[in-house]
Chain A
Amino acid sequence: MLGIIRFLTEPFAPAYMQRSLVISLLLAALSGVVGVVVQLRRLSFMTDALTHSVFPGIAIAFVAGESLFVGALIAGAVAATLLTFAARSTRIDQDAFMALVLASLFSIGVIVVSRHRSYSADLTTLLFGRVLAVDTADIITTAAVAVVALGVLVAIRKELLLRAFDETGAEAMGYSLLRIDLAVNLVVALVVVAAVRAVGTALVVALLITPAATARLLCSRLQSLMISAVAISALAAWLGLVISYDASVHHGIRLAAGATIVVVLTALFAVVAIAQALRTGMARRRTLAAVAT
């Protein structure tokens, strides 16, 4: 028992590990809540598109030597606006149109980075982040972004609920869907921005999709969905950091911390999904047996 506790706490003795844990838990709280909204509004694809579309902003800021955060913020706003209109287009296939927007914006980012000297290393850092290298300023920025994003969600929660539940009804009551959608997509973009330093643009999509998907397998009330998504995400962050630390310190295997968190999240989802499938399978067999007798 003591061994387990040591295994779970020992990695957080160094200050950089503490900072990693703090920023991971912050991101877990933020993305768990926003992730539930993403799921209710069926925005997985939009979320993935946003993560790729924020990339050019970071790339330009990086090459120009400006703050990545500011670059991501501007690109996030532009991408969220473009994609909101793309997703509401009625004349062309929406998802193909979104693919066009995301790939074009991402390509611009790649071209910008490709003109820079250390192309490969830069590209991967921007895409996958460095959770172990975050500093206190990053934590403060992430916390500030989290407060703004969650504040917006709380402020428009009832309109959000209505729009997710009954699109035509919301429109019939005179709500501008465009405005609500834009607000939500901006919030998702903010999460991407908040996570850029720690997990990068390519991995944040996991924080936004997987915890909520796992929670959905476990419960069905809005509040419990949000609470369990945050809890699952926090658990995965903790475990991921511990595993990555333990593997590299005690076993000599380097495991990227951010990626390990994502793999733990996915594994949690798989375990819950399989357990659920087995349970329904057994229940069905029992019913069939009862009918037969």
Chain B
Amino acid sequence: MTNALHVHDLCVTYDREVVLRDVHALLQPGDSVALIGPNGAGKSTFIKAILGLVPASSGFVEVLGTTPAKARPLVAYVPQIDHLDARFPISVQQVALMGRYRRIGWLRRPGRVDRAATLDALEQVGLADRANDSFGVLSGGQRQRVLIARAIAQDAKLLLLDEPFNGVDSVTQDVLIEVLGRLRAAGTAVVMATHDISVAHLACGHACLLNRHQVAFGRLDDALTADTLKATYGHHAVMLAEGTALLSTH
């Protein structure tokens, strides 16, 4: 069986500046890793490197046994919700349908199978009844769920999420965790950037701690310790971070 994700000694530079270095990671199908670190730690950069949108200046990233660029059709990406224009004239179903585009191909129109798969995906996130509504009238959490539905419709082998739990309601949080669990059971690997350690405990088996370099990578309980958190967030933030970590392990 091929690895879902294999990263070896990755280093990324923008201009003259090294923004991320020493990153190693290995994920099997069905594994799930939380990328944890402060703002500007390189979480989004790491996700972009997995997508092949920023080049590795040294080391390598292998996705589903091939290069990031070649693997893209099998990789689903869920952007941060506030990066999208809420006023864009588009319906909920149209957004979810985008997940099928690569499968449909250039110049062809979506068929009945695609529509059924899209509706099924919306059903899974509890929004099938909103299919014909404008994307913009939904709440932030509901929009996040539509994007998850898009990823489900894509039927990807690797799912990348950028801060999916940021500012969402508790219904959405429950739906997300349930859906992620189901996808993992079906063999999809998950990479999720988050700053919420309790969420990491609920949704992920692995953790990757970043602060412009990799502090730790491994099974959640091994990687996420008081020491690694201190190394990631620096002395000041440790008390808070430790507090959350202790809370969620109780």
Contacts and interface: CB of A to CB of B under 8 A. Distances in A.
Interface stretch (B95-103, B169-177, B185-193): B95-103
B112 interface: no
B240 interface: no
Given A172-B77, A172-B160, A40 B89 contact: yes
B80 to A, nearest CB: 9
A158 B107 CA distance: 8
Nearest to B85: A165
Contacts of B136: 220
A161 B94 contact: yes
Interface in A140-161: 155-156, 158-159, 161
Say what secondary structure dominates the interface of chain A. Answer: helix
B202 interface: no
Given A40-B88, A40-B89, A165-B84, A171 B51 contact: yes
B95 A158 contact: no
B43 interface: no
A162 interface: yes
Interface in A164-182: 164-166, 168-169, 171-175
Interface string B149-184: 010001000001000000000000000000000000
B218 interface: no
Given A155-B107, A159-B106, A173-B72, A222 B90 contact: yes
Interface in A270-287: none
Interface string B88-132: 111100110110011010110110000000000000000000000
A168 B44 CA distance: 12
Nearest to B77: A172
A171 B89 contact: no
A161 B150 CA distance: 14
Interface in A213-255: 220-222, 225
B239 interface: no
Nearest to B91: A221
Contacts of A171: 51, 53
A221 B98 contact: no
B40 to A, nearest CB: 18
Contacts of B20: none
B110 A222 contact: no
Contacts of B154: 173
B208 interface: no
Interface residues of B, number: 33
A166 B107 contact: no
Interface residues of A, number: 21
A218 to B, nearest CB: 12
B90 A161 contact: yes
Interface in B196-242: none
Given A158-B104, A172-B160, A166 B89 contact: no
A174 B98 contact: no
B107 A222 contact: no
Contact of B72 (A162, A164, A172, A220): A172
A158 B77 contact: no
Contact of A168 (B79, B90, B107): B79
A164 to B, nearest CB: 7
A136 B20 CA distance: 63
Contacts of B98: 158, 161-162, 165-166, 169, 173
Contacts of A155: 106-107
Contacts of B85: 165
A168 to B, nearest CB: 5
A105 B104 CA distance: 40
A155 B154 CA distance: 21
B134 interface: yes
Nearest to B73: A174
A239 B223 CA distance: 72
A162 B97 CA distance: 10
Contacts of A158: 97-98, 101, 104, 109-110
B69 interface: yes
A174 B84 contact: no
Nearest to A220: B89
A166 B106 contact: no
A175 B72 CA distance: 9
Given A159-B101, A174-B72, A174-B73, A168 B83 contact: yes
Contacts of B53: 168, 171-172
Contacts of A220: 87, 89, 134, 136
B75 interface: yes
A155 B109 CA distance: 9
Contacts of A222: 89-90
Contacts of B109: 158
> Which 3 A/B pairs are nearest by Cβ-Cβ distance?
A174-B72, A172-B77, A162-B98
10 contacts: A156-B106, A156-B107, A159-B101, A161-B98, A165-B84, A168-B79, A169-B98, A172-B77, A175-B102, A221-B91
Given A159-B106, A175-B102, 19 more contacts: A158-B97, A158-B109, A158-B110, A159-B101, A161-B90, A162-B101, A165-B90, A165-B98, A166-B98, A168-B53, A168-B79, A169-B77, A171-B51, A172-B76, A172-B77, A173-B98, A174-B72, A174-B73, A221-B91
